[in-house]
């Protein structure tokens, strides 16, 4: 869709602030420039191998976005590219794979009713404002907002998103759990927003690496309703 000035202002207004684990730089990696990766490997993914850079947070790293709007709802999805996914302390390569596309989606029903869906492994966490607001099959948490910018905690290595450092972490077989903590670096994405439609990989819908690597943001798997069905919000417990 065409992104007019009013809609672009909304994209900026709701751009998230990511809060990383203090050990991210030594364990795995911060977000990277996806266009740079695609330029180098897009025609030859077989040559894309394990790469746990970037070791320092570059505040100029692009945050990609896409927008949908109709009469009752505006959706904005923000995308982040990592070169590797490394689940903490897992053995035998569990939770390790090339590439890692993560995202945060906001659904704006009105200025007073908003829901955020935060990518978290194969599902999503949810935050509502007001706090009781949610979607069917989800239980929402209360977000930390800086005006309309949500603060999101990023799990060490896996880059799964959490509403709070006190959120219940995802655990694999109840043994290997995501690690989330305060005290790490923060990334305010507002400074480097790039529309997906303006990237060099917009028409590419395949995987970013081998058969275990994530699908492109423009793959049908990542359609508008990937995170939750198209329904009106409800109250927690109903």
3-state secondary structure 114-150: EEEEEEECCEEEEEEECCCEECCCCCCECCEEECCEE
Q: What confidence category does residue 53 fall into, taking pLDDT thresholds of 50, 70 and 90? A: very high
Who contacts 136 (Cβ-Cβ below 8 Å, separation ≥6)? 228, 229, 231, 234
- The DSSP letter of residue 30 is -
User: Which residues constitute the domain of residue 59?
Assistant: 5-235
- 72-76, 143-147, 234-238: range with lowest mean pLDDT: 234-238
Mean pLDDT of 109-127: 95
Q: What angle do CA 206, 123, 76 make, to 5 degrees?
A: 70
Q: Do 98 and 210 contact (CB within 8 A), yes or no?
A: yes
Question: 144-146 and 133-134: which strand pairing?
Answer: unpaired
- What is the pLDDT at residue 174? 82
pLDDT of 91 > 80? The answer is no
Residue range 144-199, pLDDT digits in tens: 999 999 999 999 999 999 999 999 999 988 888 999 999 999 999 999 999 999 99
Whether 130 contacts 110, CB under 8 Å: no
Report the distance separating Cα 117 and Cα 198, nearest Å: 24
| 213, two tokens | 């690597």
What pLDDT band is residue 238 in, cutting at 50, 70 and 90?
Answer: low
Q: Provide mean pLDDT across the span 69-75.
A: 94
> What average pLDDT is seen over the chain?
94
Joined tokens for residue 89: 């302390």
Number of domain units in the chain? 1
Residues 6+ apart with CB under 8 A from 27: 21, 86, 88, 156, 157
pLDDT band at 92 (very low <50, low <70, confident <90, very high): low
**Mean pLDDT in residue range 5-32:** 96
Average pLDDT of the residues in 30-55: 96
Q: Which residues pair with 21 in a beta bridge?
A: none
Those residues with Cβ within 8 angstroms of residue 238's Cβ, 6 or more apart along the chain or in another chain = none
pLDDT at 157: 96
| Local structure of residue 170 (DSSP, 8 states) | P
**pLDDT > 90: percent of the chain:** 89
- The answer, as to whether pTM is greater than 0.85, is yes
């Amino acid at each position: 869709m065409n992104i007019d000035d009013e809609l672009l202002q909304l994209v900026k207004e709701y751009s998230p602030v990511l809060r990383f684990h203090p050990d991210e730089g030594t364990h795995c990696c911060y977000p990277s420039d996806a266009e740079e990766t695609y330029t180098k490997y897009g025609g030859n993914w077989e040559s894309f191998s394990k790469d746990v850079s970037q070791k320092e947070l570059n505040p100029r790293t692009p945050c990609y976005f896409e927008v949908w709007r109709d009469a009752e709802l505006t959706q904005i999805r923000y995308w982040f590219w990592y070169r590797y996914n490394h689940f903490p302390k897992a053995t035998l390569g569990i939770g390790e794979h090339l590439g890692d596309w993560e995202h945060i989606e906001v659904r704006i029903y009105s200025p007073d009713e908003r829901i955020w869906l935060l990518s978290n492994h194969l599902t999503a966490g949810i935050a509502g404002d007001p706090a009781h607001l949610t979607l069917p099959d989800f239980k929402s948490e209360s977000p930390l907002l800086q005006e309309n910018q949500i603060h999101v905690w990023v799990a060490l290595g896996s880059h799964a998103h959490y509403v709070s450092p006190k959120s219940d972490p995802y655990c694999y077989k109840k043994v290997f759990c995501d690690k989330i903590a305060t005290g790490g670096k923060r990334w305010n994405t507002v400074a480097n927003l790039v529309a997906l439609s303006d990237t060099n990989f917009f028409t590419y819908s395949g995987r970013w690496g081998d058969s275990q690597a994530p699908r492109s943001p423009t793959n049908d798997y990542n359609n508008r309703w990937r995170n939750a069905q198209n329904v009106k919000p409800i109250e927690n417990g109903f």
